[in-house]
Structure 1
């Protein structure tokens, strides 16, 4: 259903919004995976991109990353090891607790992350060129609301939220 089909009296349910999100996620992920295969080094996966994004935001522990991605610590440790071996992430001692090891992004990791982000943004922008200016405004407004709701929901349910607030 296009944005123009909603009349002011229409009140889409959360279920309808969720159904639309489920429908648009696969094409977005397809575009992402094409960029990952086209531009990244062999063996670089979408999961690695997500980890670089999280670590670029703030240094994190393997346990925090595992919790945020809903995987086991050993599984996350293997993914992190790939990033460390490639020089994209480094392990550093937590300055507040020497028993903990934090992961931080390297300059090379930051450069790769930014390059992939820009290329993905460009690919998606090309696909959105067919929208009218009004449709782009409506889409942006809707995405901003969804982003706020989904990020807030994720932060409230994240096991790492309590750690960050402490």
Structure 2
């Protein structure tokens, strides 16, 4: 949460930020989710993402927002490292589905791609500025196994 006239800022790669505000009460807040879900298959757990969403929503209600008035904008979820799993897509999908399930209108989103983003959220207004950060994507890890001399091993 922030004071009126304030700004909340973050930088995102595969992480996802949800900017949520009540335009009537003129209060807002933002979360930053590193990994929305843990585990896989039948042992998948979304407790981390749910907790991040509930903390910001409950904080807004505590500051005078009404749940029925809440609106959201979602950012991030980039694929930052080629050749690895796309955790950014999983994070983005989690937040979008969560908002739908909870009946919170998502008025805009900027998800995916391969660029990092800098986000500036003006919570009293619901206004968000996004700046793409070029060159932030990381190439796949290099793997050098063995050499002509013998036993070299380089995984990074």
User: TM-score interval w.r.t. the shorter chain?
Assistant: under 0.3
Give me the TM-score of the superposition, normalised by structure 1. Answer: 0.24
Larger relative contact order (Cα-Cα within 8 Å, sequence gap ≥ 6): 2
TM-score (norm 2): 0.25
Which one has the bigger helix percentage? 1
